Chains A and B, each alone.
Chain A
Amino acid sequence: MTDLAGNQQIIEIIYLVASVLFILSLKWLSAPSTARHGVLAGEIGMVLAIGGTLLHHGIVDYKWIVIALVIGSGIGVPLGLVQMTAVPQRTALSHAFGAFCVTLVGTAEFYLRTPNVPRFMMAVLSMEVILASLTFTGSLMAAGKLQEVLPQRPITYKGQNVVNLFFLAIAIAVAVYLVVHPGAKQLFPVMIVIPLIFGVLMIVPIGGADMPTVISLLNSYAGLSAAAMGFVLDSKLLIIAGALDGSSGFILSVIMSKAMNRSFTNVLFGAFGQVQPAAVAGKEEKTVRSATAEEAAGILAAANKVVIVPGYGMAVAQAQHKVRELYDALTKRGVDVRFAIHPVAGRMPGHMNVLLAEADIPYDRLMEMDDINGDFPQTDVALVIGANDVTNPAARTDQSSPIFGMPILDVDKARTVMVIKRSMNPGFAGIDNPLYYLDRTLMLFGDAKSFVNSIVHELAGNTH
């Protein structure tokens, strides 16, 4: 008996060390220079925790643990090697896997313990299972939309929120019943199936542009469900990891919702109201000025300060490597080139930074919105590539605009604005962008990748 207790003590100490390493891991992630130590700390913590768990005295069967670990690693490796453009769907998929694991463990624990489940335990277990199962299907839906297996267009219908809340209410009612009568085994599956349906319904009305918020929110749910599982298993390590993940997702959701000018309650309840199409755009024919690659190259070469504003359109066109060539060509001519990154650029928080870093653009050239907005008046050329709404000045001035109040990049204050765009079609949200009709704006019509390529060619031609 003393021997077993001793073993248990060693395990707890190992978990303590792992917890410290997990916290350090996130702390070191604060700066790019130390970030990779953070990954190492996390890896060591994880190996220690898994190794420590194998010392658990109740474990009699190692064979299947090893088999499962090997299969899991086999699935994990390809998921760790996906393309950077596919990182958002990979992340959503891994939220789904995490939630799947938590749901299964919660279910197993319930059937092992029923009917002797104390009330508090049952309440936490219900929360764990409800959160995890809705995160599971919700994340699968999000991954499907991001991978474009499912339609990206938001699907809405009348009374959608009422239907969704109805499902959630049933799940909570079942949970309450189970807390009072933990022996009601037959009701437990209901508490899983209803949130599974709710998870699907929750994501149905969400469009591509809202994905950064949704992924952060699902991240937070996944963390909270893992923390709840920590309470059920009385594992402090799990509570800590879940709390860290939950607060991380929470902070990111808040940042994303602010960047989209959505209210906080809006985010908490997952009720992502759809952006209503703008009222009929001005009938009067507005004129735009367009320019060729040759003219654009001339203006860029003559500039001192250039700010490039990349959006998701750049990633769709796979133009980031061409943008890198443009960056090189201009930097070689002594032009100061920086990139302005809106918080919701891309399909998940920070996505645009990763795409540009992959193209070997130095990270100290990537500027956050608040740091660069004051510099636009001194900027000779703002080059917008595949971004639309985040540059729309109507968000500042036009109270009737659906995006009024959303923080934007003040590109319209630059001396010259150039916008690479396929056509004058308004973007996905159907909001007209007055930026395109300014006197200082030149429209560069064409595919982002090939247009940037032509500019690079023109710049190279000029040096010969």
Chain B
Amino acid sequence: MNSALIDGLFVFMLAGFIGFEVIKRVSPLLHTPLMSLTNALDAIAVVGAIVLVGEHKSNLSFILGILAVIAATSNVVGGFLITDRMLRMFKSSRPTKP
């Protein structure tokens, strides 16, 4: 138990640093897509909710789990969809074919 906590804190610390370094480099041009993308990635919380539904340990956890899966999935689908729509609009004036 205690070692899982320490592991978790290490992971959190390292991921925080990586996030800081990576996101610092994102151009302000793309800050809106950045926010919608991190929002979609954050919806990975859906995995916790899926387990709640699938295990069906109590009626409360089952029902809360279903609502949570719905909320998170809408973020996954909506988040990726709108991020991609936005990024498709960014075009350069230089004629470079991707």
Contacts and interface: CB of A to CB of B under 8 A. Distances in A.
Contacts of B50: 50, 53-54, 56, 59, 65
Nearest to A72: B73
B32 A29 contact: no
Given A72-B76, A104-B64, A243-B15, A351 B32 contact: yes
Interface in B40-98: 40-58, 60-62, 64-94, 98
Nearest to A84: B86
Contact of A235 (B19, B26, B47, B85): B47
- Interface SS of A by simple majority: helix
A32 B92 CA distance: 9
A303 interface: no
B5 A120 contact: yes
A39 B53 contact: no
Contacts, number: 366
A30 interface: yes
B38 A244 contact: yes
B75 A108 contact: no
Contacts of B77: 72-73, 76-77, 79-80
Given A50-B50, A80-B77, A238 B29 contact: no
Interface string A346-364: 0011110110011010111
Contact of A366 (B15, B29, B48, B54): B29
Given A65-B50, A65-B69, A219-B35, A244 B15 contact: yes
Given A59-B54, A354-B89, 10 more contacts: A26-B37, A32-B27, A39-B84, A68-B66, A105-B65, A108-B52, A240-B15, A244-B23, A341-B28, A362-B91
Interface of A: 18, 22-23, 25-27, 29-33, 35-36, 38-39, 42-43, 45-46, 49-50, 53-54, 56, 58-62, 64-65, 67-69, 71-73, 75-82, 84, 87, 90-91, 94-95, 97-98, 100-102, 104-105, 107-109, 111-112, 118, 120, 215-216, 219, 222-223, 226-227, 229-231, 233-252, 255, 341, 343, 348-351, 353-354, 357-358, 360, 362-366, 368
The 10 A-B pairs of least Cβ separation, nearest first, read: A72-B73, A80-B81, A76-B77, A350-B31, A59-B54, A362-B93, A247-B19, A79-B78, A243-B15, A68-B69
